[in-house]
């Protein structure tokens, strides 16, 4: 069983990495990119029967800084 956790900075939180990517894309000639938000994807290989609630607890305790980051869990 696999869970995929996508972690992103919350709206309104400064994203210096995203801004650096946006600037670099412009410098490479890519026009029309008005904003970039950079995050991370974490894939967890889990034992059968591991619940989404358990993965949520993992996110709350370690995988995401919930003060400045939001997360989305996909189980499958």
For 13-70, how does the pLDDT look when each residue is reduced to its tens digit (9 = 90+)?
999 999 999 999 999 999 999 999 999 999 999 999 999 999 999 999 999 999 999 9
- Categorize the per-residue pLDDT at 4 as very low, low, confident or very high, splitting at 50, 70 and 90: very high
Cα gap 9→15, rounded to integer Å: 7
Cα dihedral value 59, 64, 8, 69, nearest 10? 120
Domains and CATH numbers, the chain: 2-75 (3.30.1280.10)
- Categorize the per-residue pLDDT at 9 as very low, low, confident or very high, splitting at 50, 70 and 90: very high
Retrieve residue 28's tokens. Answer: 């490479």
pTM of the model: 0.89
């Amino acid at each position: 069983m696999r869970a995929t956790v996508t972690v992103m900075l919350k709206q309104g939180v400064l994203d210096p990495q995203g801004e650096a990517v946006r600037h670099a894309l412009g410098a490479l000639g890519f026009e029309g990119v008005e904003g970039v938000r950079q995050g991370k994807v974490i894939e967890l290989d889990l034992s059968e029967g591991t619940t989404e609630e358990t993965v949520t607890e993992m996110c709350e305790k370690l995988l995401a800084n919930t003060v400045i980051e939001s997360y989305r869990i996909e189980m499958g």
